[in-house]
Amino acid sequence: MPFVADGRTLINHAYTHRFAIPAFNVCSLELARACVMAAELERAPVILQTYPGDLEQGSPKVLAAMIRALAEEASVPVMLHLDHGDGQERIVSCLRAGYSSVMFDGAALPLAENVRRTRELAAIAHAAGASLEAAAGSFGGGEGHDEDAVLTEPEVAAALRREGHADLIACSVGSRHGQASHLDLARLQAIAEATTAPLVLHGGSGIPAEELAAAAKLGVVKVNIGAALQRALLQVWRHEAGAAPQHYDIYTRAREVLIEVARDKLRIMGGSGQA
């Protein structure tokens, strides 16, 4: 199936039909392929994304080419997103490489500055035929994010949507990077009503299944999943690498485990059968 070139098409489809899509952080063929294979088994669309740390393992051009090649051989829609984009240079490099969507994380800025820069970068993303995600709060937690969380106020999310022209709004409503956490569904509902726009959750690995399902019904279309994959992959390597006669055996076993992790997230969020 063709690669999803413009993320807005898949985002709007998910928003209209009230299901969420896991956005899996990947930096290697084994991670990306396992997530695509899981999506095919579930007949679900999937988002693959790269965090700035992932881009140290391969440039935007290299990772985009790999994921495009996987998408062309896949039977389900595959979208590519930049997670936690930290400025215009990185965002533009990913758009030039052919990313479907990019995030600008301006949550640490004063609101007026966050809105202004979001608006500028949204115009660039839209000119490139891609979508832009804005940050209306911060998520804290582990996995390289040790700062305290800042919960999203509905009026901040609304400003980023209406004045910043963002296509998706990342909302901090209790989830934390790399940690078990619970969502404040009342806050999420207030944000959904204030924005009437597609929403995003970060720190999805630790959110209980029933809360993820409820979030999708409130307009969450994208949920970031990183730690669940990282931990599963590392566990296979740590526990089985010593006895393996060849590295191919470890790749095979890791792929099996990663597929099951990804399938579980796809089912929980209502994406199964949506491709």
What DSSP state is assigned to residue 83? E
E-strand stretches of 75-147 = 78-85, 101-104, 131-135
Surface-to-core class of residue 148, CB atoms within 10 Å of its CB (0-12 exposed, 13-18 middle, 19+ buried):
exposed
Residues 228, 262: Cα–Cα separation, whole Å: 9
Q: For residues 124 and 99, is the Cβ–Cβ distance under 8 A? A: no
Judged by phi (left if over 0) then psi (alpha if -120 to 50, else beta), residue 222 lies in beta
Residue written as token pair 């582990």: 142
Give the distance, in angstroms, between the CA of residue 47 and the centroid of all CA atoms in the same chain.
Answer: 6
Q: For residues 252 and 240, is the Cβ–Cβ distance under 8 A? A: no
CA distances from 64 to 3, 22, 29, 142, 270 (A): 10, 18, 11, 27, 26
Q: How many CA atoms lie within 13 A of 52 on its CB side?
A: 13
Tokens at residue 99, please? 């990313």
Q: For residues 13 and 235, is the Cβ–Cβ distance under 8 A? A: no
Can you give the C-alpha Rg of the chain in angstroms?
A: 17
Of the listed 54, 83, 105, 167, which one is catalytic?
83
- List Cβ neighbours of 31 (8 Å cut-off, separation of 6 or more): 24, 25, 229, 233, 258
Q: Catalytic site residue 83?
A: yes
Catalytic residues: 83
